[in-house]
């Protein structure tokens, strides 16, 4: 376990706490950034969370933030806050590798839209974070760079594909990270590492400048240590981008204000069928306690049945469509397992893709019916705690089946395009984190976060006794 910080070290403060300390003069963005860089140097040799550390840039940005804050120019809650980015989010002049030898020397000329927004908010960029190669996997086990290890137990995986993002936040190497989620790639590693991970409504956060896996399912979202912090990051990155064909026009409320408002009496759907089946490693007990916490918040719980579509035609076709030129020209630059997965989309015909894509749009238009009679829906995030590296190494042919288990409960919400949040809800007998998932209708991001924040606070009270 590597995440413990010494007394007085601010590494595990929340963004909200850090911002208050900046504005009260108790901490400086420069000192905090330097501490993060020192912590990365000390811990990341074992964790492998970072692919590229941008120390000089971070310190320059921290100095600029400190100067602005001292002169009364306040860019908002992220001003001076050290964060990091999954390494498939483009950064101008800084390599963006996708975790693959294929892109090892790729240096974008422009920032992704979300990076531009973070820069405008005064965030400090510590570097680029490790991932399952080109985001095509839920284990974090396959990639060109050494696999990221779980800060709670280095013998275990972080999950994927945003493995480095989860580990860096959990270990106190940064205060927030951006991840991407196509089948659970934010929520799975967040759950397995014991942090908060939020997948916004599809299209709420722009994808322009992000290496795609499957553009019909890809989401960008925050990974943080508290729900409030996730809301603060979302406030900066959310909103329509007219240059992004996947971007949608949705209202962007003041998320922090919604979190501070009184929690309404909610009707919570409990998706027992499929989502609560075959839970292992104390996940069932932690999930039962989580339901009790919701009931203590005044929520009315009722069972709901969700119809899960397992068809992956659109996903496979879009992944192959993006990668086909490199698959043909330089297949040796992919990991063998990644190449195999990408090639599963090669045989999808245009007719099959169009038919399944239209079916996807019809499903998304019908999502409101899923929430008839309930406001939000809850499930365990991942059915099992983090597997060990030894388990995966002993049975390499079982890696993909194990990944399908890890993302069993997360992938449906990518298909539906709905917001979904994972919040820590306990640990296994072996001390491995367990997460609980809260999902809402399309556009109900603020409501999902509000319940998540209330759940987080009440669970802490229950644990404290």
Which positions are annotated as active-site residues? 86, 161, 185
Q: Residue 197 corresponds to which tokens in the numbers above?
A: 């991970």
The 10 Å Cβ neighbour count of residue 321 is 16
Token pair 């099992």 in the structure block, residue: 384
Q: How far is CA 104 from CA 47, 99, 220, in A?
A: 20, 8, 22
Q: Is residue 425 within 8 Å of residue 404, measured between CB atoms?
A: no
Side-chain half-sphere CA neighbours of 290 within 13 A: 29
Biggest CA–CA distance in the chain, Å, is 62
Distance CA 113, CA 205 (A): 9
Query: What's the CA angle centered on 147, arms 144 and 150, to 5 degrees?
Result: 160
Q: Which residues contact 458 (CB under 8 A, 6 or more apart)?
A: 293, 296, 297
Q: Exposed/middle/buried for 21, CB within 10 Å: 0-12, 13-18, 19+? A: middle
Q: Residue 270 corresponds to which tokens in the numbers above?
A: 């409990």
Q: Is residue 170 within 8 Å of residue 144, measured between CB atoms?
A: no
Q: Residue 253 corresponds to which tokens in the numbers above?
A: 């409320």
Q: Which residues contact 37 (CB under 8 A, 6 or more apart)?
A: 53, 55, 58, 59, 126
Q: Residue 302 corresponds to which tokens in the numbers above?
A: 């009722």
End-to-end Cα spacing for the chain: 25
């Amino acid at each position: 376990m590597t995440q413990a910080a010494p007394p007085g070290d601010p590494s595990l403060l929340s963004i909200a706490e850090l911002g208050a300390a900046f504005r009260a003069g108790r901490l400086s963005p420069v000192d905090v950034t330097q501490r993060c860089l020192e912590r990365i140097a000390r811990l990341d040799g074992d964790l492998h969370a970072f692919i590229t550390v941008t120390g000089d840039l971070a310190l320059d940005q921290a100095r600029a933030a400190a100067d602005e804050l001292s002169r009364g120019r306040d860019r908002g809650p992220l001003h001076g806050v050290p964060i990091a980015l999954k390494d498939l989010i483009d950064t101008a002049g800084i390599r963006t590798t996708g975790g693959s030898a294929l892109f090892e020397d790729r240096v974008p000329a422009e920032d992704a839209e979300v990076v531009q927004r973070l820069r405008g908010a005064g965030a400090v960029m510590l570097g680029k974070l490790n991932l399952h190669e080109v985001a095509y996997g839920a284990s974090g086990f396959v990639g060109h760079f050494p696999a990221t290890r779980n800060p709670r137990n280095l013998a275990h995986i972080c999950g994927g594909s945003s493995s480095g993002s989860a580990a860096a936040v959990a270990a106190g190497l940064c205060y927030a990270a951006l991840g991407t989620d196509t089948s659970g790639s934010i929520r799975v590693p967040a759950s397995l590492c014991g942090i908060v991970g939020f997948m916004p409504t599809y299209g709420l956060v722009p994808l322009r400048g992000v290496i795609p896996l499957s553009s019909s399912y890809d989401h960008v979202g925050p990974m943080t240590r508290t729900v409030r912090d996730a809301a603060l990051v979302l406030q900066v990155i959310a909103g329509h981008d007219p240059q992004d064909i996947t971007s949608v026009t949705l209202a962007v409320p003041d998320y922090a204000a919604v979190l501070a408002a009184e929690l309404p009496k909610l009707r919570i759907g409990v998706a027992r069928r499929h989502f609560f089946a075959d839970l292992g490693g104390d996940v069932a007990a932690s999930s039962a306690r989580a339901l009790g916490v919701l009931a203590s918040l005044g929520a009315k719980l009722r069972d709901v049945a969700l119809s899960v579509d397992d068809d992956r035609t659109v996903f496979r076709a879009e992944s192959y469509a993006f990668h086909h030129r490199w698959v043909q020209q330089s297949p040796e630059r992919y990991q063998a397992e990644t190449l195999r997965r990408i090639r599963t989309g090669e045989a999808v015909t245009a007719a099959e893709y169009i038919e399944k894509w239209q079916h996807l749009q019809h499903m998304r238009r019908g999502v409101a019916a899923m929430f008839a009679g309930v406001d939000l829906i809850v499930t365990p995030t991942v059915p099992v705690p983090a597997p060990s590296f030894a388990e995966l190494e002993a049975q390499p042919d079982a890696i993909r089946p194990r990944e399908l288990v890890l993302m069993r409960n997360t992938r449906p919400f990518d298909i539906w395009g709905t917001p979904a949040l994972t919040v820590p809800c306990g640990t296994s007998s072996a001390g491995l984190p367990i997460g609980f998932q809260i999902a809402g209708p399309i556009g109900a991001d603020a409501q999902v976060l509000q319940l998540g924040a209330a759940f987080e606070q009440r669970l802490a009270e229950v644990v404290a006794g």
